[in-house]
Amino acid sequence: MIRRLVPALAVLALLAPPAHAQKKEYERLQLQIANMQGQIIALQRSVEDAVSELKRLNQNLAGQGELLRRNVEDTRLQGESTQAALRDVVDGLGEVTEALRALRVSGPGLAPPMPGDAGETTADGGDGATPSTAGAAAPPPRELYSEAYADFARGNFDLAVQGFETYLEYYPETEFSDNAQYWIGECYYGQGRFDEAVDAWNKLLRDFASSDKVPDARVKKGMALERLGRRSQALLEYRYVLDRYPNSPAARIAREKLNPQS
Protein backbone atom coordinates (compact mmCIF):
# COMPACT_ATOMS: atom_id res chain seq x y z
CA MET A 1 0.00 0.00 0.00
CA ILE A 2 2.75 2.40 0.97
CA ARG A 3 4.49 1.51 -2.19
CA ARG A 4 1.43 2.69 -4.14
CA LEU A 5 1.15 5.98 -2.21
CA VAL A 6 4.71 7.02 -2.81
CA PRO A 7 4.35 7.38 -6.57
CA ALA A 8 1.06 9.23 -6.12
CA LEU A 9 2.59 11.67 -3.70
CA ALA A 10 5.44 12.16 -6.06
CA VAL A 11 3.02 13.03 -8.86
CA LEU A 12 1.16 15.51 -6.62
CA ALA A 13 4.44 17.05 -5.64
CA LEU A 14 5.25 17.54 -9.28
CA LEU A 15 1.78 19.03 -10.05
CA ALA A 16 1.64 21.46 -7.12
CA PRO A 17 4.06 24.13 -8.45
CA PRO A 18 2.19 24.65 -11.76
CA ALA A 19 -1.15 25.17 -9.94
CA HIS A 20 0.44 27.79 -7.68
CA ALA A 21 1.98 29.52 -10.66
CA GLN A 22 -1.38 29.73 -12.42
CA LYS A 23 -2.89 31.40 -9.36
CA LYS A 24 -0.13 33.97 -9.30
CA GLU A 25 -0.58 34.65 -13.01
CA TYR A 26 -4.34 35.01 -12.53
CA GLU A 27 -3.81 37.49 -9.72
CA ARG A 28 -1.30 39.43 -11.84
CA LEU A 29 -3.75 39.62 -14.72
CA GLN A 30 -6.52 40.79 -12.39
CA LEU A 31 -4.24 43.52 -11.11
CA GLN A 32 -3.42 44.62 -14.66
CA ILE A 33 -7.09 44.68 -15.54
CA ALA A 34 -7.84 46.75 -12.44
CA ASN A 35 -5.06 49.18 -13.38
CA MET A 36 -6.35 49.45 -16.94
CA GLN A 37 -9.88 50.04 -15.68
CA GLY A 38 -8.54 52.84 -13.49
CA GLN A 39 -6.73 54.36 -16.44
CA ILE A 40 -9.87 54.13 -18.55
CA ILE A 41 -11.90 55.85 -15.84
CA ALA A 42 -9.23 58.57 -15.58
CA LEU A 43 -9.25 59.03 -19.35
CA GLN A 44 -13.05 59.25 -19.39
CA ARG A 45 -12.91 61.92 -16.72
CA SER A 46 -10.27 63.80 -18.69
CA VAL A 47 -12.43 63.63 -21.82
CA GLU A 48 -15.46 64.82 -19.87
CA ASP A 49 -13.43 67.66 -18.40
CA ALA A 50 -12.15 68.57 -21.88
CA VAL A 51 -15.68 68.53 -23.30
CA SER A 52 -16.91 70.70 -20.44
CA GLU A 53 -14.04 73.14 -20.99
CA LEU A 54 -14.77 73.19 -24.72
CA LYS A 55 -18.42 73.95 -24.03
CA ARG A 56 -17.40 76.73 -21.67
CA LEU A 57 -15.02 78.18 -24.24
CA ASN A 58 -17.71 77.98 -26.92
CA GLN A 59 -20.14 79.76 -24.63
CA ASN A 60 -17.56 82.43 -23.87
CA LEU A 61 -16.78 82.78 -27.56
CA ALA A 62 -20.47 83.06 -28.37
CA GLY A 63 -20.86 85.66 -25.66
CA GLN A 64 -17.88 87.60 -26.95
CA GLY A 65 -19.25 87.35 -30.50
CA GLU A 66 -22.61 88.68 -29.34
CA LEU A 67 -20.88 91.47 -27.44
CA LEU A 68 -18.83 92.31 -30.51
CA ARG A 69 -21.95 92.29 -32.67
CA ARG A 70 -23.70 94.59 -30.21
CA ASN A 71 -20.69 96.89 -30.13
CA VAL A 72 -20.65 97.03 -33.93
CA GLU A 73 -24.39 97.68 -33.99
CA ASP A 74 -24.07 100.36 -31.32
CA THR A 75 -21.23 101.97 -33.27
CA ARG A 76 -23.31 101.90 -36.45
CA LEU A 77 -26.32 103.43 -34.70
CA GLN A 78 -24.10 106.04 -33.08
CA GLY A 79 -22.63 106.88 -36.48
CA GLU A 80 -26.08 107.21 -38.01
CA SER A 81 -27.19 109.36 -35.07
CA THR A 82 -24.11 111.54 -35.49
CA GLN A 83 -24.77 111.89 -39.22
CA ALA A 84 -28.38 112.82 -38.53
CA ALA A 85 -27.29 115.36 -35.93
CA LEU A 86 -24.75 116.77 -38.36
CA ARG A 87 -27.43 117.08 -41.04
CA ASP A 88 -29.64 118.92 -38.56
CA VAL A 89 -26.78 121.25 -37.67
CA VAL A 90 -26.03 121.94 -41.33
CA ASP A 91 -29.69 122.55 -42.08
CA GLY A 92 -30.02 124.75 -39.02
CA LEU A 93 -26.93 126.68 -40.04
CA GLY A 94 -28.47 127.29 -43.44
CA GLU A 95 -31.64 128.60 -41.83
CA VAL A 96 -29.68 130.83 -39.46
CA THR A 97 -27.59 132.15 -42.36
CA GLU A 98 -30.73 132.91 -44.31
CA ALA A 99 -32.28 134.59 -41.27
CA LEU A 100 -29.17 136.76 -40.87
CA ARG A 101 -29.35 137.74 -44.51
CA ALA A 102 -32.98 138.61 -43.99
CA LEU A 103 -32.05 140.78 -41.01
CA ARG A 104 -29.71 142.74 -43.23
CA VAL A 105 -32.73 143.95 -45.17
CA SER A 106 -35.10 144.13 -42.19
CA GLY A 107 -34.28 147.67 -41.14
CA PRO A 108 -31.51 150.02 -40.03
CA GLY A 109 -29.60 149.20 -36.89
CA LEU A 110 -30.40 145.48 -36.78
CA ALA A 111 -27.36 144.34 -38.72
CA PRO A 112 -24.73 146.11 -40.82
CA PRO A 113 -25.46 145.88 -44.53
CA MET A 114 -23.09 143.85 -46.65
CA PRO A 115 -21.07 145.75 -49.24
CA GLY A 116 -23.00 145.76 -52.46
CA ASP A 117 -26.32 144.73 -50.84
CA ALA A 118 -29.22 145.61 -53.09
CA GLY A 119 -31.05 147.07 -50.11
CA GLU A 120 -28.10 149.23 -48.95
CA THR A 121 -29.22 152.66 -47.86
CA THR A 122 -28.07 155.44 -50.17
CA ALA A 123 -26.84 158.80 -49.17
CA ASP A 124 -30.28 160.34 -49.64
CA GLY A 125 -31.91 157.76 -47.35
CA GLY A 126 -33.30 155.62 -50.18
CA ASP A 127 -33.10 151.84 -50.34
CA GLY A 128 -30.78 151.65 -53.33
CA ALA A 129 -33.24 149.38 -55.22
CA THR A 130 -35.34 150.64 -58.08
CA PRO A 131 -38.94 149.35 -58.05
CA SER A 132 -40.05 147.80 -61.33
CA THR A 133 -43.62 149.09 -61.09
CA ALA A 134 -43.59 152.71 -62.24
CA GLY A 135 -45.80 155.11 -60.35
CA ALA A 136 -46.69 152.56 -57.63
CA ALA A 137 -45.85 153.08 -54.00
CA ALA A 138 -43.25 150.37 -53.46
CA PRO A 139 -42.96 148.86 -49.97
CA PRO A 140 -39.43 149.07 -48.56
CA PRO A 141 -37.46 146.03 -49.80
CA ARG A 142 -36.03 145.29 -46.35
CA GLU A 143 -39.44 145.15 -44.76
CA LEU A 144 -41.02 143.25 -47.64
CA TYR A 145 -38.43 140.47 -47.77
CA SER A 146 -38.13 140.18 -44.00
CA GLU A 147 -41.89 139.80 -43.51
CA ALA A 148 -42.13 137.18 -46.26
CA TYR A 149 -39.30 135.14 -44.77
CA ALA A 150 -40.80 135.44 -41.28
CA ASP A 151 -44.07 134.03 -42.65
CA PHE A 152 -42.14 131.15 -44.22
CA ALA A 153 -40.32 130.41 -40.95
CA ARG A 154 -43.66 130.31 -39.12
CA GLY A 155 -45.13 127.93 -41.70
CA ASN A 156 -47.51 130.53 -43.15
CA PHE A 157 -46.67 129.41 -46.66
CA ASP A 158 -49.48 131.16 -48.52
CA LEU A 159 -48.59 134.50 -46.96
CA ALA A 160 -44.91 133.85 -47.59
CA VAL A 161 -45.51 133.11 -51.29
CA GLN A 162 -47.55 136.27 -51.58
CA GLY A 163 -44.80 138.29 -49.88
CA PHE A 164 -41.98 136.86 -51.99
CA GLU A 165 -43.95 137.34 -55.20
CA THR A 166 -44.65 140.95 -54.22
CA TYR A 167 -40.95 141.42 -53.57
CA LEU A 168 -40.14 140.05 -57.03
CA GLU A 169 -42.80 142.25 -58.59
CA TYR A 170 -41.24 145.39 -57.19
CA TYR A 171 -37.61 144.29 -56.98
CA PRO A 172 -36.90 141.65 -59.67
CA GLU A 173 -33.15 142.28 -59.91
CA THR A 174 -31.83 142.80 -56.41
CA GLU A 175 -29.41 140.58 -54.52
CA PHE A 176 -32.28 138.84 -52.77
CA SER A 177 -34.50 138.34 -55.81
CA ASP A 178 -33.05 134.87 -56.42
CA ASN A 179 -33.54 134.04 -52.74
CA ALA A 180 -37.16 135.11 -52.92
CA GLN A 181 -37.73 132.86 -55.92
CA TYR A 182 -36.04 129.95 -54.14
CA TRP A 183 -38.20 130.31 -51.04
CA ILE A 184 -41.34 130.33 -53.15
CA GLY A 185 -40.36 126.81 -54.22
CA GLU A 186 -39.74 125.84 -50.60
CA CYS A 187 -43.19 127.12 -49.63
CA TYR A 188 -44.86 124.98 -52.30
CA TYR A 189 -42.74 121.98 -51.29
CA GLY A 190 -43.76 122.44 -47.66
CA GLN A 191 -47.41 122.38 -48.76
CA GLY A 192 -46.93 119.23 -50.80
CA ARG A 193 -47.54 121.15 -54.04
CA PHE A 194 -44.60 119.51 -55.76
CA ASP A 195 -45.48 120.44 -59.35
CA GLU A 196 -45.59 124.12 -58.40
CA ALA A 197 -42.36 123.75 -56.43
CA VAL A 198 -40.63 122.35 -59.52
CA ASP A 199 -41.97 125.24 -61.60
CA ALA A 200 -40.72 127.76 -59.04
CA TRP A 201 -37.22 126.26 -59.01
CA ASN A 202 -37.18 126.03 -62.80
CA LYS A 203 -37.89 129.76 -62.88
CA LEU A 204 -34.97 130.33 -60.52
CA LEU A 205 -32.67 128.22 -62.73
CA ARG A 206 -33.84 130.13 -65.81
CA ASP A 207 -33.85 133.70 -64.48
CA PHE A 208 -30.98 133.48 -61.97
CA ALA A 209 -28.57 130.97 -63.51
CA SER A 210 -25.57 132.35 -61.58
CA SER A 211 -27.32 132.38 -58.20
CA ASP A 212 -25.69 130.67 -55.24
CA LYS A 213 -29.09 129.08 -54.67
CA VAL A 214 -28.80 126.97 -57.83
CA PRO A 215 -27.30 123.86 -56.13
CA ASP A 216 -30.00 123.90 -53.44
CA ALA A 217 -32.72 124.53 -56.01
CA ARG A 218 -31.58 121.60 -58.15
CA VAL A 219 -31.36 119.10 -55.31
CA LYS A 220 -34.73 120.19 -53.93
CA LYS A 221 -36.18 120.00 -57.42
CA GLY A 222 -34.91 116.41 -57.55
CA MET A 223 -36.63 115.66 -54.24
CA ALA A 224 -39.88 117.13 -55.54
CA LEU A 225 -39.58 115.06 -58.71
CA GLU A 226 -39.15 111.95 -56.60
CA ARG A 227 -42.33 112.80 -54.72
CA LEU A 228 -44.05 113.01 -58.10
CA GLY A 229 -42.78 109.54 -59.04
CA ARG A 230 -40.29 110.87 -61.58
CA ARG A 231 -37.16 109.32 -60.10
CA SER A 232 -35.20 109.08 -63.34
CA GLN A 233 -35.46 112.86 -63.75
CA ALA A 234 -34.60 113.33 -60.08
CA LEU A 235 -31.40 111.31 -60.51
CA LEU A 236 -30.30 113.64 -63.30
CA GLU A 237 -30.64 116.59 -60.94
CA TYR A 238 -28.65 114.84 -58.19
CA ARG A 239 -25.85 113.89 -60.59
CA TYR A 240 -25.75 117.42 -61.98
CA VAL A 241 -25.24 118.82 -58.47
CA LEU A 242 -22.47 116.29 -57.72
CA ASP A 243 -20.71 117.07 -60.99
CA ARG A 244 -20.98 120.86 -60.88
CA TYR A 245 -21.01 121.59 -57.14
CA PRO A 246 -19.20 118.62 -55.50
CA ASN A 247 -18.21 120.51 -52.33
CA SER A 248 -21.56 122.14 -51.61
CA PRO A 249 -23.97 121.10 -48.84
CA ALA A 250 -26.43 120.29 -51.62
CA ALA A 251 -23.93 117.76 -53.02
CA ARG A 252 -23.96 115.91 -49.70
CA ILE A 253 -27.74 115.55 -49.94
CA ALA A 254 -27.51 114.56 -53.59
CA ARG A 255 -24.95 111.87 -52.74
CA GLU A 256 -27.24 110.44 -50.08
CA LYS A 257 -30.13 110.40 -52.54
CA LEU A 258 -28.06 108.59 -55.15
CA ASN A 259 -26.77 106.06 -52.62
CA PRO A 260 -29.56 105.53 -50.09
CA GLN A 261 -28.70 103.35 -47.12
CA SER A 262 -30.44 99.96 -47.09
Query: How far from each other are the two terminal CA atoms of the chain, in whole angstroms?
Result: 115
Residues 189-206: tens digit of each pLDDT: 999 999 999 999 999 999
In this prediction the pTM is 0.52
Query: Model confidence over 194-239: pLDDT tens digits?
Result: 999 999 999 999 999 999 999 999 999 999 999 999 999 999 999 9
In whole angstroms, give the CA distance from residue 245 to residue 249: 9
CA distances from 261 to 75, 89, 135, 258 (A): 16, 20, 56, 10
Quick one: pLDDT band at residue 128, thresholds 50, 70, 90?
A: very low
* Residues with Cβ within 8 Å of residue 251, at least 6 apart in sequence: 215, 219, 241, 242, 245
User: Could you report the per-residue pLDDT of 26-38, keeping only the tens digit for each?
Assistant: 677 777 777 777 7
